[in-house]
């Protein structure tokens, strides 16, 4: 027992561990530091059932927590030390927060008694995290720790889920906490918690508008995936014969092989045939969707003036970009259940969703198939998509970085089942996300195959985590589109700046040899004829693997990004 501590007390560090345990935490990701010593010592001494995965930097710890949360429906937990640790963890925190993914970032800090005396690693952590999180605090009094931890879990799981941050100064980790305060609200162990039901009058108004429309369409953002609204969304689609489009974040709201599924819309992964369905609609139902610049082609599709029904759990989203005829501030699943119930009692004009969706998919496949079957070198990205679709199980998880992989997977990989099978960081689009997020996804759902897809620019951001993958024997397959350029920027220079390529190219790295140095079984593929066989071997291997694909750069490809096509 610590000096002066009674039998009814424990240290702040011990209380932190017990409060995480009380909230059902079984996994956390992080990196050690001087200010974290009391917390790590408590993790070492106590019997708590929490697996701590040591990462190679704090940014990837946050990305891992993000991926874990997305596939489990439980908050992800990451931690890091003061100073550089707190600044490194920020990219993952802001990505999760803006993607409505609940993660708790715990950063330790210098002692409260050292503030203002120029101690090593001092910075104002609460100010640093304030604009990037849903809730944020520093524990300056150890006795407040249980209440603050409960507030953190309550904040990140209720309303619109998001990221929270709690700083643990060194001295408060050693302060005393009453053991009677160690308890948690079980409702906040998963998300979304304490869902908001819709206004019945708004539901009736929306039902009347949809029942009388002749060519309505729904556009799903990430809300239906987060709320688990898969079954009720399918019932709505069948009831109205309503075509269901998604944003990139909304993929998984409905199986893309479903007759009413339209696929992705917007400037990243959209197609002119899909865009035409949106443009021709007489009513648009946004579901858990911000209607941002990418989804709407910079607010041109749908065009202003359409009839708009908007469902979202965040009242600030509704009406932000479109004049809204019916606003439904509610959880997506509860709102759709109420809408289906209301529509079931009304006379309905069917929306020809199957016909419109089939026409759009036929046009997309007509463009995709010749490219996927091309024997051209460097290898076309479409060939990689086709080979993976032919080999991956329906329950496989694919995590894609936002550069070369994202538009191709969004446009062309036709997900055969509803649910969280595809993950990509659409809020801020930082490179280097996919590898770490795939690790978190694997930890959260270890029984399925997980694939991380990245460009070679992203590889340079994250390759240190291959050591973590090998240390934990994670059977993740990494695929690198190797084209020796920051392709997205070069494609923008190609289409909009007179092909003036400036400072976007770099020397080619032998990614297979780099991965092999970490202990990853690896291949390099230059011939598209060899691609299916190599991918099959990599996917079936019982340990971590990497396939380095010498691929066509984006500025020379038929990438499904509308601003480049135009």
Task: Decide if 167 contacts 125 (C-beta within 8 A).
Answer: yes
- What pLDDT is recorded for position 251? 97
Stretch(es) of the chain classified as CATH 3.40.50.970: 9-189, 373-565
Note if the bond before 192 is cis, omega within 30 degrees: yes
Is the pLDDT at 411 greater than 60? The verdict is yes
Nearest-angstrom CA–CA distance, 161 and 163: 7
Is the per-residue pLDDT at 204 higher than 60? yes
pLDDT band, very low/low/confident/very high, at 349 (cuts 50, 70, 90): confident
Total number of residues shown for the chain: 566
- Helix (H), strand (E) at residue 51: strand 51-54
The per-residue pLDDT for 564 is 86
Whole-number Å distance between alpha carbons of 74 and 186: 12
Q: Are 396 and 451 spatial neighbours (Cβ–Cβ below 8 Å)?
A: yes
Over 90: is that where the pLDDT of 24 sits?
yes
Give the CATH number of domain 9-189.
3.40.50.970
User: What is the tens place of the pLDDT at every residue in 421-432?
Assistant: 999 999 999 999
Cα–Cα distance for residue pair 80/93, rounded to 1 Å: 12
Listed in order, strand segments (DSSP E) in 202-251 are 217-220, 244-246
pLDDT digits (tens, 9 = 90+) for 520-554: 999 999 999 999 999 999 999 999 999 999 999 99
- Every domain of the chain with CATH number 3.40.50.1220 lies at 200-356
Looking at per-residue confidence, does 349 or 152 come out higher?
A: 152
Residue with tokens 């419109």: 356
Options 3.40.50.970, 2.40.50.700, 3.40.50.300, 3.40.50.620; which CATH number does 373-565 get?
3.40.50.970
Domain 200-356 has CATH 3.40.50.720: no
Task: Enumerate the H helices of 165-227 as residue ranges.
Answer: 170-174, 200-212, 223-227
Question: For 233-276, how does the pLDDT look when each residue is reduced to its tens digit (9 = 90+)?
Answer: 999 999 999 999 999 999 999 999 999 999 999 999 999 999 99
Alpha carbon distance 220, 289 (integer Å): 6
Q: What percentage of the chain reaches a pLDDT higher than 70?
A: 99
- What is the structure's pLDDT at 566? 57
């Amino acid at each position: 027992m610590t000096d002066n501590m009674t039998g009814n007390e424990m240290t702040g560090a011990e209380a932190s561990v017990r409060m995480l345990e009380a909230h059902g935490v079984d996994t956390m990701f992080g990196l050690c530091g001087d200010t974290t010593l009391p917390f790590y010592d408590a993790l070492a001494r106590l019997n708590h059932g929490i697996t701590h995965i040591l990462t190679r930097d704090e940014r990837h710890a946050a990305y891992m927590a993000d991926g874990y949360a997305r596939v489990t429906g439980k908050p992800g937990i990451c931690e890091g030390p003061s100073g550089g640790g707190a600044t490194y963890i920020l990219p993952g925190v802001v990505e999760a927060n803006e993607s409505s993914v609940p993660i708790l970032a715990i950063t330790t800090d210098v002692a409260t008694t050292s503030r203002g005396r120029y101690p090593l690693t001092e910075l104002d952590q609460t100010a640093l995290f304030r604009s990037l999180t849903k809730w944020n605090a520093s524990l300056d009094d150890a006795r407040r720790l249980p209440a603050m931890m409960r507030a953190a879990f309550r904040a990140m799981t209720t309303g619109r889920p998001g990221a929270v941050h709690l700083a643990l100064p060194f001295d408060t980790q050693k302060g005393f906490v009453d053991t009677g305060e160690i308890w948690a609200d079980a409702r906040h162990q998963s998300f979304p918690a304490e869902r908001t039901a819709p206004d019945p009058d708004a539901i009736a108004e929306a039902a009347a508008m949809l029942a009388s429309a002749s060519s309505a369409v729904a556009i799903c953002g990430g809300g239906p995936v987060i709320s688990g609204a898969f079954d009720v969304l399918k019932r709505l689609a069948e009831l109205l014969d309503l075509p269901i489009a998604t944003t990139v974040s909304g993929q998984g709201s409905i199986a893309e092989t479903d007759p009413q599924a339209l696929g992705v819309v917007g400037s990243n992964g959209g197609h002119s045939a899909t865009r035409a369905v949106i443009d021709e609609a007489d009513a648009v139902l946004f579901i858990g969707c911000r209607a941002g610049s990418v989804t709407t082609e910079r607010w041109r599709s749908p065009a202003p003036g359409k009839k708009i029904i908007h469902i979202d759990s965040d009242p600030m989203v509704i009406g932000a970009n479109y004049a809204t005829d019916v606003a439904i501030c509610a959880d997506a699943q509860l709102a759709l259940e109420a809408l289906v119930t209301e529509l079931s009692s009304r006379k309905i004009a069917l929306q020809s969703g199957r016909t419109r969706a089939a026409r759009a998919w036929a046009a997309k496949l007509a463009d995709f198939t010749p490219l996927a079957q091309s024997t051209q070198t460097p290898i076309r990205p479409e060939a990689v998509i086709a080979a993976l679709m032919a080999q991956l199980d329906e329950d496989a998880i694919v995590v894609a970085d936002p550069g070369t992989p994202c538009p191709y997977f969004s446009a062309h990989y036709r997900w055969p089942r509803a649910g969280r099978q595809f993950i990509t960081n659409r809020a801020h689009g930082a490179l280097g996300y996919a590898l770490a997020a795939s690790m978190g996804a694997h930890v959260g759902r270890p029984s399925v195959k997980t694939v991380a897809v990245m460009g070679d620019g992203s590889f340079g951001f994250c390759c240190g985590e291959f050591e973590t993958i090998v240390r934990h024997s994670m059977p993740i397959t990494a695929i690198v589109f190797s084209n020796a350029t920051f392709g997205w920027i070069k494609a923008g220079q190609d289409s909009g700046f007179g092909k003036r390529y400036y400072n976007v190219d770099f020397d080619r790295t032998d990614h297979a040899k780099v991965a092999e140095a970490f202990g990853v079984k690896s291949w390099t593929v230059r011939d598209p004829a060899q691609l299916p066989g190599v991918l099959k071997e990599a996917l079936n291997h019982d340990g971590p693997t990497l396939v380095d694909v010498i691929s066509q750069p984006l500025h020379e490809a038929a990438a499904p990004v509308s601003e480049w096509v135009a």
